[in-house]
């Protein structure tokens, strides 16, 4: 079932936590930030919306690094009801798609709850002070391949945030599969 997150809560301070990653290390969310900001993306392995944008996510993470913006992805889905999202499958997914950023496992779902994550993908863009400045879509393509020259909403917002510390006031929410909560 498709879900849409709420609009950006400008200035909300991100929640830090240390979680295990698919590369065998553990990372602090805040520690993944670059000097000019951080993208925190809640994703999973099975969602068609994530699968449709995963190549663009990897591209944006690489491109944003040049602007001093870090990137981290988090999977919070219940792997009991959705075994495709197990930690073992997260490792495969990260390898298959050439992740250059940490892919963290939020097994107890506490981080997703702290962020009020609503769907996969759900993008949170923070400035250098770890204040939320963007909560929107990666681009307008959604499930379709992007046409040449399409606006890169997330990328352009994060470049603006890296330069000015503030995000665009006009943002269009992401859309994706709902987070698969335990006991739901």
Quick check: 87 and 178 in contact, CB under 8 A?
no
CATH of the domain at 32: 3.40.30.10
pLDDT for the residue numbered 1: 58
- What is the extent of the structural domain holding 123? 2-178
The answer on pLDDT for 184 being more than 80 is no
Q: Could you tell me if residue 183 is inside a domain?
A: no
pTM higher than 0.85? yes
Q: Could you tell me if residue 8 is inside a domain?
A: yes
C-alpha closest to that of 176 among 142, 145, 141, 134: 142
Quick check: 99 and 73 in contact, CB under 8 A?
yes
How many structural domains does the chain have?
1
Task: Give the Cβ contact number of residue 144 at 10 Å.
Answer: 9
What is the 8-class DSSP label of residue 101? S
Quick check: 50 and 76 in contact, CB under 8 A?
no
pLDDT digits (tens, 9 = 90+) for 125-170: 999 999 999 999 999 998 888 899 999 999 999 999 999 999 999 9
pLDDT digits (tens, 9 = 90+) for 71-99: 999 999 999 999 999 999 999 999 999 99
Q: Could you tell me if residue 63 is inside a domain?
A: yes
What's the whole-number mean pLDDT along residues 43-48?
97
Q: Could you tell me if residue 118 is inside a domain?
A: yes
Q: Could you tell me if residue 152 is inside a domain?
A: yes
Q: Could you tell me if residue 105 is inside a domain?
A: yes
Instruction: Pick the more confident residue, 131 or 183.
Output: 131
pLDDT digits (tens, 9 = 90+) for 96-120: 999 999 999 999 999 999 999 999 9
* pLDDT classification of 6: cutoffs 50, 70, 90: confident
pLDDT for the residue numbered 3: 78
Residues in a beta bridge with 40: 72, 124
Q: Could you tell me if residue 113 is inside a domain?
A: yes
Q: Could you tell me if residue 184 is inside a domain?
A: no
Instruction: Pick the more confident residue, 10 or 184.
Output: 10
């Amino acid at each position: 079932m498709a879900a849409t997150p709420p609009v950006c809560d400008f200035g909300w301070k991100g929640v830090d936590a240390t979680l295990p990653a698919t590369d065998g290390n553990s990372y602090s969310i805040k520690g993944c930030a670059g000097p000019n900001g951080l993208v925190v993306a809640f994703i999973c392995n099975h969602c068609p919306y994530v699968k449709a944008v995963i190549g663009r996510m990897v591209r944006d993470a690489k491109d944003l690094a040049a602007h001093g913006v870090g990137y981290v992805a988090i999977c919070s889905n219940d792997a009991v009801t959705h075994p495709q999202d197990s930690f073992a499958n997260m490792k495969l997914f990260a390898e298959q798609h050439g992740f250059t950023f940490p892919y963290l496992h939020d097994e107890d779902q506490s981080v997703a709850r702290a962020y009020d994550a609503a769907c996969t993908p759900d993008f949170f863009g923070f400035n250098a002070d770890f204040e939320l400045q963007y909560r929107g879509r990666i681009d307008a393509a959604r499930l379709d391949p992007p046409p040449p020259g399409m606006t890169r909403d997330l990328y352009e917002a994060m470049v603006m945030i890296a330069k000015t510390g503030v995000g665009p006031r006009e943002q269009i929410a992401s859309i994706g599969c709902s987070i698969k909560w335990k006991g739901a």
